[in-house]
């Protein structure tokens, strides 16, 4: 195993000059800009000859991962595994498996490939990340600089045969908050709206572009359990910009289980501090949140919520119902009950 951390590569440079033959078969991607991560993953999918397995980190086990690579036949062109949100995958590992996982990744060679996509802005300085970065190529997907972001937006508009003056571009840029994933959606709407025009104006921007509001997923969870109607708008913004619906549903489920346990033990006569000790909740803010939110839902409502979450995942993962729409419908229904 290498003793020195591998140097980082910039995802933009790799995408611009993409050559699958120059891509290491073991990759870890991290950083703020998820759109670039998705573009990279798409390039991988369309450039390899082997079987591509796209896995969600929160529903993939180490055993399942090993079975995929063990299934290669003598004439196989290899297996390519992409684990999106590898942070959740890591969190589900037994600590005794950390080293085994690192060794497993290190053992992967062409024609097999593994792409680990972290949703974190920084790589954690703990195991198994600490050892993992020594056996993979590391790719950083940072947010673009303001000038590079503005240039990207302008090129997209000009590519469609339209012009935009610097003042209007600056105004549009201020609404998009330097987020490529959000910008892609809003600019596509803008181009459709102005399809019969040669120049994009400030009035066009005002007509269709919705300013990106920086939302916090924990603020959403708090409002969701309070049945605050604003939770619906926050949820839409979160899934359009920074979070996957499964990630948010998982947070809701975790909080619901905590609230149900808290209310159940409280009814049994246990004091709050003893309950938090049993639940291994130590942070004062977490304790305060659980105590506060427990007043908004009964035990029966929490049990019903948990059941509905499991039904929702079956619809999405077994029957392949539209992920964003079913998730949004669920949020709206629960908040407006």
> What pLDDT is attached to residue 314?
93
- pLDDT tens column, 77-130: 889 999 999 998 998 888 889 999 999 999 999 999 999 999 888 998 899 999
Task: Give the Å distances, CA to CA, from 149 to 46, 122, 142, 145, 177.
Answer: 26, 21, 12, 6, 10
Domain closes at, from 107, 140, 173: 140
The four Cα atoms 285, 288, 291, 297 give a dihedral, to 10 degrees, of -60
Domain closes at, from 122, 140, 158: 140
Q: Are residues 126 and 12 in the same domain?
A: yes
Separation CA 152–CA 58 (nearest Å):
33
pLDDT at position 180 over 70: yes
- pLDDT tens column, 220-255: 999 999 999 889 988 987 887 668 898 899 999 999
> What pLDDT is attached to residue 329?
94
195 in a domain, yes or no? Answer: yes
Task: Give the Å distances, CA to CA, from 5 to 53, 136, 185.
Answer: 27, 9, 37
For residue 283 the two structure tokens come to 């942070």
313 in a domain, yes or no? Answer: yes
Domain harbouring 166, CATH code: 1.10.8.60
Residue-wise over 235-247: b if at least 16 C-beta within 10 A, else e?
A: bbbbbbbbbbbbb
Question: Of the ranges 3-17, 70-84, 123-137, 146-160, which is most confident?
Answer: 123-137
Evaluate whether 150 touches 173 at the Cβ level (below 8 Å). Answer: yes
Give backbone dihedrals phi and psi of 116, rounded to 5 degrees, phi first: -100, 115
Q: Are residues 130 and 16 in the same domain?
A: yes
Q: Are residues 78 and 150 in the same domain?
A: no
pLDDT higher for 287 or 58? 287
Domain harbouring 230, CATH code: 1.20.272.10
- pLDDT tens column, 314-324: 999 888 898 98
> What pLDDT is attached to residue 337?
75
Determine how many CB atoms are found less than 10 A away from the CB of residue 145. Answer: 10
- The closest alpha carbon to 102, from 116, 88, 85, 119, belongs to 116
134 in a domain, yes or no? Answer: yes
pLDDT higher for 309 or 50? 309
Task: Identify the bridge partners of residue 84 per DSSP, sorted by sequence position.
Answer: 56, 117
- pLDDT tens column, 27-55: 999 998 888 898 999 999 999 887 889 99
Q: Are residues 185 and 245 in the same domain?
A: no
pLDDT higher for 307 or 95? 307
Name the pLDDT band for 326 (thresholds 50, 70, 90).
very high
pLDDT at position 173 over 90: no
> What pLDDT is attached to residue 14?
93
- Containing 80, the helix (H) or strand (E) segment is strand 79-84
1 in a domain, yes or no? Answer: no
Domain closes at, from 140, 166, 192: 140
- pLDDT tens column, 181-228: 778 888 998 999 999 999 999 999 988 887 766 567 888 999 999 999
Q: By residue range, what is the domain housing residue 106?
A: 8-140
> What pLDDT is attached to residue 209?
85
Evaluate whether 85 touches 58 at the Cβ level (below 8 Å). Answer: yes
Domain harbouring 103, CATH code: 3.40.50.300
Evaluate whether 226 touches 252 at the Cβ level (below 8 Å). Answer: no
pLDDT at position 152 over 90: no
Evaluate whether 140 touches 118 at the Cβ level (below 8 Å). Answer: no
Separation CA 49–CA 208 (nearest Å):
41
3 in a domain, yes or no? Answer: no
What is the 3 state secondary structure string of 137-173? EEEECCCCCHHHHHHHHHHHHHHCCCECCHHHHHHHH
pLDDT at position 4 over 50: no
> What pLDDT is attached to residue 50?
78
Reported as half-sphere exposure (CB side, CA atoms, 13 A), residue 276 has a value of: 14
* Predicted TM-score (pTM) of this structure: 0.58
- The closest alpha carbon to 217, from 255, 186, 183, 164, belongs to 255
pLDDT at position 2 over 60: no
Q: Are residues 191 and 120 in the same domain?
A: no
pLDDT higher for 237 or 21? 21
Q: Are residues 20 and 136 in the same domain?
A: yes
- The closest alpha carbon to 96, from 67, 127, 58, belongs to 127
Separation CA 252–CA 235 (nearest Å):
12
177 in a domain, yes or no? Answer: yes
Name the pLDDT band for 327 (thresholds 50, 70, 90).
very high
Q: Are residues 238 and 317 in the same domain?
A: yes
Q: Are residues 63 and 155 in the same domain?
A: no
> What pLDDT is attached to residue 308?
96
Q: Are residues 71 and 123 in the same domain?
A: yes
Q: Are residues 23 and 97 in the same domain?
A: yes
Give backbone dihedrals phi and psi of 51, rounded to 5 degrees, phi first: -75, 130
- pLDDT tens column, 62-80: 999 999 988 765 556 889 9
Q: Are residues 200 and 293 in the same domain?
A: no
Name the CA radius of gyration of the chain, rounded: 23
Name the pLDDT band for 262 (thresholds 50, 70, 90).
very high
2 in a domain, yes or no? Answer: no
305 in a domain, yes or no? Answer: yes
Q: Are residues 130 and 161 in the same domain?
A: no
Specify the number of domains making up the chain: 3
């Amino acid at each position: 195993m290498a003793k020195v951390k591998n140097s980082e590569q910039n995802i933009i440079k790799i995408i611009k000059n993409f050559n699958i033959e120059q891509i290491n078969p073991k990759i870890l991607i991290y950083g703020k800009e998820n759109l670039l991560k998705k573009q990279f993953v798409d390039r991988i999918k369309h450039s390899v000859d082997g079987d591509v397995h796209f896995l969600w980190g929160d529903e993939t086990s180490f055993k399942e991962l090993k079975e995929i690579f063990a299934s290669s036949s003598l004439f196989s062109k290899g297996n390519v595994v992409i684990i999106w949100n590898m942070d959740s995958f890591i969190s589900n590992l037994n600590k005794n498996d950390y080293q085994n996982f690192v060794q497993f990744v290190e053992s992967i060679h062409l024609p097999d490939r593994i792409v680990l996509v972290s949703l974190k802005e920084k790589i954690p300085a703990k195991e198994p990340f600490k050892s993992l970065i020594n056996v993979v190529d590391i790719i950083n997907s940072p947010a673009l600089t303001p000038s590079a972001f503005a240039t990207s937006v302008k090129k997209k508009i000009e590519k469609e045969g339209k012009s935009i003056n610097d003042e209007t571009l600056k105004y549009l840029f201020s609404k998009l908050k330097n987020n490529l994933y959000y910008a892609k959606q809003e600019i596509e709407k803008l181009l459709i709206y102005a399809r019969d025009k040669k120049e994009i104006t400030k009035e066009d921007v005002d007509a269709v572009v919705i300013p990106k509001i920086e939302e916090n997923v924990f603020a959403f969870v708090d409002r969701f359990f309070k049945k605050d109607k604003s939770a619906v708008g926050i949820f839409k913004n979160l899934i359009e910009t920074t979070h996957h619906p499964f990630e948010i549903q998982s947070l809701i489920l975790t909080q619901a289980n905590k609230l149900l346990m808290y209310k159940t033990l409280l009814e049994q006569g246990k004091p709050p501090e003893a309950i938090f000790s049993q639940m291994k909740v130590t942070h004062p803010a977490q304790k305060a949140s659980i105590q506060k939110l427990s007043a908004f839902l009964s035990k029966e409502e929490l049990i019903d919520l948990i059941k509905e979450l499991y039904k929702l995942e079956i619809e999405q993962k077994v029957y392949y119902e539209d992920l964003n729409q079913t998730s949004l419908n669920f949020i709206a229904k629960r908040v407006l009950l």
